[in-house]
Amino acid sequence: MILTKVQYDEIAQCLVSVPPTRQSLRKLKQRFPSQSQATLLSIFSQEYQKHIKRTHAKHHTSEAIESYYQRYLNGVGRNGAAPVLLELANEVDYAPSLMARIILERFLQEHEETPRKKVFCHPPLCRETYVGKSLS
């Protein structure tokens, strides 16, 4: 079935109100049964990418980075087994992988003895820290 601009916009509008999860994708499939799973996944991915690109600068201010880092440290300090990175990323509506990168880069600013490139290329160098355990 050919997707019209109106249908695309309707699907995209539905995505605004749902978190980017697999369950949300299932709900979309129920709401738009005439569209294939691949079509919905493609729209879902495009709209999420647009959202990340629009909000990227907001999450990379020095105030935001410091706030995320302190919230991460506080969360890990309270409960080291909790999925702090995932919860923080979901709370601020940002991709968990990108949030992990923000936290790791901020951590490396404090611990300059290990060059950043080495840690990104070889993550076991960072495994013994709170950040390393969250990333593994």
Residue pLDDT, tens place only, 81-113: 888 999 999 899 899 999 999 999 898 888 776
Interatomic CA distance for residues 33 and 43, integer angstroms: 15
Show the domain range for 29: 5-55
Residue 132 domain flag: no
pLDDT at 25 over 80: yes
Q: Does the residue 34 lie in any domain?
A: yes
What pTM was computed for the model? Answer: 0.72
37-51, 63-77, 113-127: the lowest-pLDDT one: 113-127
Number of neighbours of residue 96 by Cβ within 10 angstroms: 15
Total structural domains in the chain? 2
Same domain for 92 and 108: yes
The mean predicted confidence, pLDDT, of the chain is 83
Rg (CA), the chain: 18
Tell me the pLDDT tens digit for each residue of 74-89.
998 888 788 899 999 9
The dihedral through the CA atoms of 70, 71, 74, 79 has a sign that is: negative
Q: Output the pLDDT for position 64.
A: 96
Judge whether residue 135 has pLDDT over 80.
no
